Homo-oligomer: A and B are copies of this chain.
């Protein structure tokens, strides 16, 4: 049974109720099949009223992003000036990576309404349902050597947190090293910078930026709910996605230009000011083993300076922080 068939019946009845019996007759499927498809539509953001004896009525559709809506809000020079809005993709990262290999310019952006294989750190899945979040990937071609790439991971976290704060000033957002944004210890965004390099030379970075904007509790698997939250759940209000996309691109471009001009120092200060990782005993699982200590700040490369119990210091470039420690 196709979604399109059901949608066209509901849309054709123009706000009137259509009985499940009639729908099942028109589409030649069982009433149970109709009910299952209605649930699927709801999961995608359609609002369907169901009244016993009367039937079903379509009362709301998922909001769609459009260039007509987004472009007038965009005040950037390069970021988002080459833009594609797609409906469903496996991952916006894969789309932009392909474009990068074909020579797409810096600032190229792909936004998707839905990702079927959204990726988080360490190959984890990333929940990205239709029309409820910002799932996008931005192409960067910074003229910096490969060892400095992690600085851009930190920059991205600062840019997103500032962009969200512009739209929802009352929200208190903390950065968990290196680039998770947390509200009350729960994750509201996912940032993943995939970089391609030749020897010590960075070819490009595809910055995957995911923000859980208008997701409701029911959009998350149960086991994720203690760890994840959307802007809507955290602030109690719907957020216009176009406004937020424009804000992200502006903040990102501004900080990026600052970085290319003045280096990492200003980014480092902004990151440290927003960090929820610094000052707390933290367990860091590095590829070489586990380290427990108190992160005190960043070094000039972007590594995390950690004070150990014996008073010695370690600089950590790559590690996972246990969730318990981060939300303390």
Q: Give A8 to B31 CA distance when docked, in angstroms.
A: 70
* Interface-central residue, A195, A197, A286, A303, by most chain B CB under 10 Å: A197
Cβ-defined partner of A199 (8 Å) among B148, B178, B199, B301: B178
Known interface pairs A153-B199, A179-B199, A199-B121. Does A146 touch B317 (Cβ–Cβ under 8 Å)? yes
For residues 86 through 132 of chain A, which have their beta carbon under 8 Å from a beta carbon of chain B? 121-122
Q: How large is the interface on A (under 10, 10 to 19, 20 to 34, 35 or more residues)?
A: 20 to 34
Q: Residue on B with the closest CB to A193?
A: B199
Q: Which of chain B's residues have a CB closer than 8 A to the CB of A192? A: 198-199
Cβ-defined partner of A197 (8 Å) among B148, B149, B288: B149
* Interface-central residue, A146, A153, A191, A199, by most chain B CB under 10 Å: A199
CB distance from A151 to the nearest CB of B (A): 10
Q: Is B144 a contact partner of A147 (Cβ separation < 8 A)? A: no
Proximity string of chain A (125-158) to chain B, C-beta cutoff 8 Å, 1 when within and 0 when not = 0000000000000000001111111100100000
The answer to whether A270 has its CB under 8 Å from any CB of chain B is no
Proximity string of chain A (217-246) to chain B, C-beta cutoff 8 Å, 1 when within and 0 when not = 000000000000000000000000000000
The answer to whether A48 has its CB under 8 Å from any CB of chain B is no
Q: Is B198 a contact partner of A194 (Cβ separation < 8 A)? A: yes
Q: Is A196 a contact partner of B195 (Cβ separation < 8 A)? A: yes
Q: Give A178 to B201 CA distance when docked, in angstroms.
A: 11
Integer count of this chain's copies in the complex = 2
Q: Give A150 to B199 CA distance when docked, in angstroms.
A: 6
Q: Is B197 a contact partner of A317 (Cβ separation < 8 A)? A: no
Q: Residue on B with the closest CB to A200?
A: B150
* Interface-central residue, A122, A198, A200, A317, by most chain B CB under 10 Å: A200
Q: Is A146 a contact partner of B198 (Cβ separation < 8 A)? A: no
Q: Which of chain B's residues have a CB closer than 8 A to the CB of A301? A: 147
* Interface-central residue, A153, A192, A198, by most chain B CB under 10 Å: A198
Q: Is A150 a contact partner of B150 (Cβ separation < 8 A)? A: no
Proximity string of chain A (149-174) to chain B, C-beta cutoff 8 Å, 1 when within and 0 when not = 11001000000000000000000000
The answer to whether A287 has its CB under 8 Å from any CB of chain B is yes
The answer to whether A37 has its CB under 8 Å from any CB of chain B is no
Q: Which of chain B's residues have a CB closer than 8 A to the CB of A286? A: 145
The answer to whether A318 has its CB under 8 Å from any CB of chain B is yes
Known: A144-B287, A193-B198, A195-B195. 19 other contacts (CB 8 A): A121-B199, A122-B201, A143-B287, A145-B287, A146-B317, A147-B147, A147-B148, A147-B301, A147-B302, A179-B199, A191-B199, A192-B199, A194-B197, A195-B197, A197-B197, A200-B317, A200-B318, A201-B318, A202-B318
